[in-house]
Structure 1
Amino acid sequence: MVENEDKFVFPGDEVGMAEEWISGEGTYEDEGKIHAAHFGVVKYNEEDLEARVEAINSIVEVKEGDIVYGVVEARKNSMAVVSIDMVEGSSRGVKEDIEASIHISEVSDDYTEELEDEYLVGDIVRAKVVQAEPTIRLSTIGKQFGVVKGYCSQCRKDMKYKKNKLYCPRCDIYENRKISKAYGKIKLKRKNN
């Protein structure tokens, strides 16, 4: 598993097998697999047989109108808390610990009764910044926004898009989410700035 091309990874993405690589900086080992601990670029050192994830050093400011990717960290009453990892169109990372919120009224064009039916902690979402100051507010209204990578609430494995829901083949269950039309299609490439 040697990759010469830079590949962006999200927290939790598998970057290698423990029998092939040593878990390096920015990674962790779980059940014989090496996973990314944070958003960044996966690098493989063939000499040391080490897989690591390098955080992206340059900093990008988040502005109103930006399209961002982030991890749902918590759900509180009528709000989801998202940790922003990346601004679309930029090869640079954002400042560490940038938190934003998605109010229940900014989830979907449809009426949203329960936030827990739309996002699960750990889901990766694509959202638009509707307010940048004093706090960052996001919206997932529109078909292009919502969950782009979801995990099963039972086993935490990647879910597949099937029948307008997310499906876990391991648990044989379907779960509702506010799913982006880009679910499973997002390919992030490093851009030269």
Structure 2
Amino acid sequence: MMEANGETKKEFVIPGDYIGVAEEYLPGEGAYEENGKIYATLVGNLDLDMTRRSASVISKTNVLPQIKEGDIVYGEIVSVKPQMVYVDLLALEGHADKKLSANTKARIYVSQTDKKYVKTISTEFRNGDIVRARVVDTQGDSIRLSTAEDSLGVIRAVCGVCKRTLGMKNEQEGKEGNLECSYCGSKETRKTADDYLKAKL
């Protein structure tokens, strides 16, 4: 949204969101440049300063109440193991403009991935994917999550070859290779949410 002075543009972004080109802006705090494009590294408000020609992400500092069972959260996949993935939590649904406090580490086990049987979790999630999940357990040193609902799962996937955002293929082609990279042509499978690439925090 353009501010009244016409100099600053602000909107909400999550890690991996495209926010501009290096020809127009310099990456500031919470942003990085790759192949001439600028992407967000934080959850927060995008601050495009037209005067200084800089693109930054301003992270929120308000503290949330403790995450509880049943909450819907957003996170980034940071490590994929044979039977689980590790997730860095980014935001709590309904409070995406506030910074998470306390424990922000979580796990999704293969048994909590989908309603159907999943043999290998690495076919459903990859490092860098952004997911929406439900909190099923908050005990111990890591929160346990589930994506075994149609509305839960990957909301933005990263190509395993070139690291760009994957697009959804024609739904009639089925689950196998349900995502495709428009840049390098890689076809990949994920446990996607039903609003893949349309999700709003």
Shared fold (TM-score greater than 0.5)? yes
Match of 2:46 among 27, 42, 46: 42
Moved over 4 A (4+): 2-5
| Paired residues of 2:82 and 2:122 also in contact (CA < 8 A) | no
Offset of 1:97 from its aligned partner? 6.8
Q: Which amino acid aligns with 2:133?
A: A
Q: Partner of 1:159 in structure 2?
A: 166
How far residue 123 of structure 1 moved from its aligned partner, in angstroms, is 0.5
Structure 1 position 50, deviation (Å): 1.3
User: Which residue among 41, 52, 55 is the counterpart of 1:51?
Assistant: 55
Q: CA deviation at 1:133?
A: 2.1
Once the 2 structures are TM-superposed, how far is the Cα of residue 117 of structure 1 from its aligned partner?
0.4
| Secondary structure class of the residue paired with 2:122 | helix
Cα pair 2:10 2:48 within 8 Å, conserved: no
Correspondence for 2:100: 94
Pair 30,97 (structure 1): closer, same or farther in 2 beyond 3 Å: farther
Q: Secondary structure at the match of 1:151?
A: coil
Q: CA deviation at 1:182?
A: 1.3
Matched, 1:79 2:92: no
In the comparison of the two structures, how many residue pairs are matched?
187
Match of 2:109 among 103, 109, 114: 103
Gaps of 5+ in 1: 189-193
- How many angstroms does 1:47 deviate by? 2.2
Counterpart check, 1:144 vs 2:151: yes
CA contact 2:161–2:186 (8 Å) conserved in 1 = no
- CA–CA distance in 2 between the matches of 1:98 and 1:9? 19
Q: CA deviation at 1:82?
A: 0.4
Equivalents in 1 of 2:82, 2:2: separation in Å? 43
Choose which of 24, 27, 38 in structure 1 pairs with 2:28.
Answer: 24
What is residue 116 of structure 1 aligned with on the other side? 122
Aligned equivalents of 2:78, 2:195: Cα separation in 1: 21
Partner of 1:184: 197
Greater relative contact order: 1 or 2 (C-alpha under 8 angstroms, separation 6 or more)? 1
How many angstroms apart in 2 are the aligned matches of 1:172 and 1:107?
26
> What is the CA deviation profile of residues 31-69 of structure 1, one whole-angstrom value per residue up to 9, with x for unaligned ones?
111111222111122221111001111122311111001
Could you tell me how far apart the structure 2 residues matched to 1:15 and 1:47 are?
Answer: 16
Deviations 1:134-163 (A, max 9, x none): 231000001111000001111111111113
Higher strand share: 1
Q: Distance in 2 between matches of 1:151 and 1:11?
A: 11
Aligned Cα root-mean-square deviation (Å): 1.7
Q: Which moved further from structure 2: 114-123 or 161-170?
A: 161-170
Structure 1 CA distance, aligned partners of 2:194 and 2:41? 26
TM-score, structure 2 normalization: 0.87
